Structure 1
């Protein structure tokens, strides 16, 4: 086979692989949450939403690092790991992966993080929005923490869309599952895509043993973020994590 034939064969193989990944992402891994239980879903709506969505950059950036929370109370930890890895933040040493570095649900607890919260505490109680904010802030990123009580669905939507369109920002939401008609209480997961026409966000749920990821209307999601956290006695909300940009000195 000549060089040109090898090249063409390689292109075909790559195209088939990318097509398979896209098909898998668009199909059974997602579902659609309907605020009104009488709404009749169309055939395979989640797949169609993903195909039609214009803002999916964060989905592809996060997919490589998407993990399952290792304990029932580790949603904020797992979500933080996904975000930090997807922003290519330098990770602590990981002896299991040497010489490579990657955040996981153990090495994220550096000495600085342990002054804020420990694995033992996380193991028996939830992580508040402020604790997650402080944890992530120990790394070289900027974190904007917003309580739903200090915001509105319109402000949330605008900020979320800006974050989702930026390659250097990620969005995490802290919400009450009951507000989305799900079993359980407080939860944290990344938001990775937005469907403009239907005003729906795609939540990449780190409790993968329990639920697939899902599309939810912005008003419905904001309502779920507005519930009161029993520990903090404040509303839930969201954080936007931004990678700090460095520039070379041309002098």
Structure 2
């Protein structure tokens, strides 16, 4: 019996390259060899998917905060202190995020509230070259993580605004690895 809904949408390629494809594996190895995947390891060790359709910003931020080893100073489950989406409500009520999503400014506010150093770059306030420079410098460090806020339509995907962490950079192809939390 067929079930209504979405299941494993095909990744539009181009512009994207499936991480598990032969080309994706080749790009990943090349980026590792170039030293521009340093943040990947801590992010992937803390990977999580969003619990609600509009929680992409919260799931992304939880991953990044955990990758940065920031102590939430409250317990997640049992004795464990660990960020998850339910803890990220100091700047926006969770019910509002669940209903409407969240803005880049509110994600930055949540990150600061949790103790992270934050620099927010909006496309209207920077250039592609400055963004690329930041991606390059951050991709060679495991203590710097980038959160991308983008319109899924730009990547030929369904949906609108979305957040995901950037796991690394391939300079030769000028591509980032988006660790999609959806």
TM-score range, shorter chain: 0.7 to 0.9
User: In structure 2, what is the equivalent of residue 180 of structure 1?
Assistant: 155
CA deviation string 1:65-114 (max 9, x = no partner): 10000000000000000000000001242252x322111111233xxx1x
Matched, 1:165 2:140: yes
User: How far 1:35 moved relative to its partner?
Assistant: 3.5
Q: CA RMSD in A?
A: 1.7
1:32-181 residue pairs with structure 2 within 5 A? 33-35=13-15, 44-53=22-31, 54=34, 55-94=36-75, 96=77, 98-109=78-89, 113=90, 116-181=91-156
Structure with greater Cα Rg: 1
- Structure 2's unaligned 5+ residue stretches are 1-10
- SS of the residue corresponding to residue 174 of structure 1 reads strand
- Structure 1's unaligned 5+ residue stretches are 1-30, 37-42, 208-251
Mapped partners of 2:12, 2:133: distance in 1: 22
Give yes or no for contact 2:38–2:139 (8 Å, CA) kept in 1: yes
Matched, 1:191 2:162: no
Moved beyond 6 Å, runs of 4+: none
- Going from structure 1 to structure 2, the CA distance change for 1:95 and 1:198 (only over 3 Å counts) comes to closer
Give yes or no for contact 1:92–1:103 (8 Å, CA) kept in 2: no
The structure whose residues are more often strand, as a share, is: 1
Greater relative contact order, per chain length (Cα 8 Å cut-off, separation 6+): 2
Give yes or no for contact 1:193–1:201 (8 Å, CA) kept in 2: yes
Is the deviation greater in 154-163 or in 67-76? 154-163
Mapped partners of 1:46, 1:134: distance in 2: 34
TM-score between both structures, scaled by the size of structure 2: 0.85
Would you say how many aligned residue pairs link Structure 1 and Structure 2?
A: 165
User: How far 1:187 moved relative to its partner?
Assistant: 0.1
User: How far 1:155 moved relative to its partner?
Assistant: 0.9
